[in-house]
A and B are shown apart, each in its own frame.
Chain A
């Protein structure tokens, strides 16, 4: 079950010709696919494209009704390889993932499909995870487009443009026999807006019909001599065809005035930021009516030489607003201008930041510099920024962390306790929520090499004394870790420990189901235990702990794995359900039970402020968001006391940690029984009678000797 349900929004995907669609960017993309007569859809989740996969998934019935095949691919490589269906058949197909990491994973299949070329339109929808909120290395998908020669669309973040580019993208792909990438920046995926819908179209040919009538053309397979022909074909046939289509259909746009001796060339995806920057310089308005010419590249690869020539002719200088580095577009513009025999100066990274997100503020700065150099009359007066009201140190950082009640936290609490006994460990971390272990308060994890690659990242460590530890998430395990990590460790006779975090979902990407999920969704086969898989590839030492919240038990098993005389790779599967998903699952059930008068027990933890001395060891070992601090109610003590907020879900880790680490007697667990049974009430009344009597007696005695 995914983090967010789009069941309600899916209704909007059924809108027909002329109706107005309101919604988020990713929903618009889905609608555009259905309007384009797509035959199959696949992909792998990951921010910022996770919700797109969730939309697909929630819309799978609708898609099936239209004869569209949808599947959640095992990895981006799987998704990219799916595009094979468009090689020989006029099938339109779309796949989606997070770039650039997903594109890395997919690159083998991408190179193959780009080399052989496609018959049906092949569209790759990429969530470009760049800039604020990004969780990955900052690289450009543009490089992939160039090296494999696939066309790259970077539409203006406006729903009608995005929708149009999806539909034109398929046509471009077919006209040039080339897969097309559609890049959506983080905010564009979630931007709200509206566009005029068209009817959904059934694919003219379905995947089932294609399978019934196989077509074989060895010229489309990457094997000598066809691979050499592909290279020539890319240059001589597909590239000119692509250029021609883009020009004829005017995929790139012009804004602002026509004649000027300066101009701006911008990637479509950051046009809105540019316009806002210009507006703040009084060079444009809220509708994009700029007072200088702007050439908007909704297609950032390939560039169209004639369009570039026409735009630059007669201009002394143009500014290229191109986010990320290296500045591929700027390089190529220089070449094109040279070849066209023009004398236009190309500015770009010399006035704009070399790295980092191009916010409207950064662009405003860059444009100002450009104007000062090439049109001083239009440059704004230099303004000095007001001195900062606050120093950065006065506002504490909020690094992401494990959720309240997260079952992964106790694994790292246990590791911290083991480190106290046997010293620091080398920990090869994986991608996923568990990577938060590298942050405070855990400080665990030395490197991370990619999704599912925790174990592989430890493979060079051949311990003689202390074993290295690798972390792997269940999502990463099924993505590739079973082979790249576990199989490799067996084959090469590693002696390290791999801890597989089995929380039942691909949790970091929004709680999608995976092979080992305990849920039983329709149309999928789940409940395939990880332990069986690792034993299947030859792991002899495998343990499954079914309750990670048992900190002492986790600590003992980790210690055993690290100190056991037995050689060979060891796998500890740490199982407990992702709390975010669990709460989402349980909350409605509990609300229903409470309403119908059933007995419900809620557990939560608390801290007694009169025994807590404010050292916060418990927080350093657990770090739960619900475990916070508050002003010490004791007038003598100065340090704030620990405090459990009402958001506590009663997972028990703070109590277990204080037991395992022998911290302090301040933690208590409260069981709050709603709609108590008759037995509960009788027992409670008897206890109350005796305990209440004794407490009143104690109170009187205390009062007698009181101050």
Chain B
């Protein structure tokens, strides 16, 4: 049988990423360079955000015979795999398309799958596992974040992939031939050529990989800050410093210096390993900075937030950006912001509830960039001065003290797990109540006795397994 002159290329991507455009460019390129090329795909349902495979085969057109080309990639017989996303590179490996002779060109960015997005905690798949498999299995692996490269060059990911394919040297064609295929396509030629060039350079290692910087420990800027920082360094173990610095910074912003000092008082009362104090520093700061209406209002009207939004929506300097918030404070939240005695009375009175509830039955569209709403939110944010008198403050501090008392009394391993259970308490409204309920169930179970640290951890995982609390109920019954 004759030697193998055929080149096979599989493009794995998600619907809407331009995999079809890329496959067409490759076919055009091959035909212009004296090859017979064939492309196929499976459109249809896959276009609706599903994963899909485009497949191209090419063979020099130097005999009169018509070649018999395959319509789908065969494991172990794919020369080049181009994947437009990291998990799609993983899928190519999983399907056996990547072998020792394969050049794998893949983007390292992530487009999360629905199962990863809907998890109640962190359901993301491991990137490291895919990257390790790519290094191990492919003959050569060229991987970089093509999405950010596309963004930086005002282009689309398909042109980056095409550029990377050219830059990889995996096809026996000149750079110009690739660029001609883009020109022949006739659409968005300039942007595509820009993306192509960036992809080409990146594949040849000419672009620096984006540096990942660890979040820095905040440095104190005020007298109060420096005093608190010294206190942390003096009184808390080294491992806890990063979280404690962040905790202090946040609570001073949230309330005031006195509140941050209360945080450190509480932390110092919790003796234990470095890991334990660090986790306590994290979770205590989160609980103490619970999101009440005052906090939400304060965060919504900051100048830094307005700037962040402008950047996120990619607004140009000459464009005006107007912001509308989707707020839905219920009567409960309103009462919790009132002085404790008044709030309690309203919530206890059926008549008042009946009277007032309809006022808060509907969500509000709050246009923060309008004067009226800005002033209203600013007034609410200013209520911070009286926060210690609010009903919510009284409730949360009592909960925190209960939790800390429980943690202090527990043996070290259980104490750590109990601290981590704070993770369940998050969100607003129903979400908040669900988390609090799960937390309460676990604490109640712990108080009954006969459960060790691993048992608490298991219950916490179960509480994060589903929204209806079925897994937690089953775990509690077991």
Contact = CB atoms under 8 A, between A and B. Distances in A.
Contacts of B363: 552, 658-660, 662
A275 B6 CA distance: 14
B286 A695 contact: no
Contacts of A272: 68-71
Contact of B299 (A133, A396, A608): A608
A42 B71 CA distance: 28
A395 interface: yes
Nearest to A402: B48
Contact of A440 (B118, B326, B328, B431): B118
B437 interface: no
Interface in A13-57: 22, 47-48, 50-51
B39 A671 contact: no
B325 to A, nearest CB: 5
Nearest to A644: B312
Given A623-B114, A665-B327, A286 B136 contact: no
B301 interface: yes
A403 B253 CA distance: 40
B320 to A, nearest CB: 4
A589 interface: no
Main secondary structure of the interface of B (DSSP, over half): mixed
Given A359-B74, A398-B49, A133 B44 contact: yes
Nearest to B249: A707
Interface residues of B, number: 135
Contact of B71 (A191, A617, A668, A705): A191
Contact of A360 (B6, B74, B121, B313): B74
A284 interface: yes
A164 interface: no
A395 B88 CA distance: 8
A684 to B, nearest CB: 5
Contacts, number: 362
Contacts of A291: 1
Interface string A655-675: 110111111110111111110
Contacts of A279: 1
Interface string A593-604: 000000000001
A613 interface: yes
B319 A361 contact: no
A636 B430 CA distance: 23
B405 interface: no
B154 interface: no
B349 interface: no
Nearest to B27: A192
Contacts of A286: 2, 4-6, 59, 67-69
A389 B44 CA distance: 30
A289 to B, nearest CB: 8
B38 A47 contact: no
A191 B41 CA distance: 7
A276 B77 contact: yes
B111 A628 contact: yes
B291 A613 contact: yes
B43 to A, nearest CB: 7
B117 interface: yes
A615 to B, nearest CB: 5
Contacts of B318: 674, 676
Interface stretch (A312-320, A468-476, A490-498, A686-694): A686-694
A384 interface: no
A118 to B, nearest CB: 31
Contacts of A694: 374-375, 378
Contacts of B51: 398
A164 B398 CA distance: 83
Contact of B427 (A157, A191, A664): A664
A699 B381 CA distance: 13
A705 B255 CA distance: 9
Interface stretch (B158-166, B203-211, B240-248, B447-455): B240-248
B369 A687 contact: yes
B397 interface: no
How big is chain A's contact interface, by range?
35 or more
Nearest to A50: B44
A703 B225 CA distance: 11
A399 to B, nearest CB: 7
B442 interface: no
Contacts of B74: 276-277, 280, 359-361, 364
A611 interface: yes
Nearest to A129: B44
A494 to B, nearest CB: 31
Nearest to A645: B111
B44 A47 contact: yes
Given A187-B72, A396-B116, A673 B319 contact: yes
Interface string B1-26: 11011100000001000000000000
Given A286-B68, A388-B94, A608-B300, A636 B282 contact: yes
Nearest to B75: A361
A396 B87 contact: yes
Given A47-B45, A188-B71, A608-B300, A282 B1 contact: yes
Interface in A612-631: 613-617, 619-620, 623, 625, 627-629
B347 interface: no
B224 A190 contact: no
10 contacts: A359-B74, A390-B133, A395-B87, A402-B48, A608-B305, A614-B426, A635-B215, A663-B427, A670-B309, A687-B370
The 10 closest A-B pairs by CB, nearest first: A659-B363, A133-B42, A47-B44, A613-B426, A396-B113, A707-B225, A695-B303, A707-B249, A187-B71, A655-B326
Interface of A: 22, 47-48, 50-51, 132-133, 135, 157-158, 160, 186-188, 190-193, 271-273, 275-277, 279-280, 282-288, 291, 359-361, 364, 388-390, 392, 394-403, 433, 436, 439-441, 508, 552, 604, 606, 608, 610-611, 613-617, 619-620, 623, 625, 627-629, 635-640, 646, 655-656, 658-665, 667-674, 676, 680-681, 684, 687, 690-692, 694-696, 698-699, 702-707
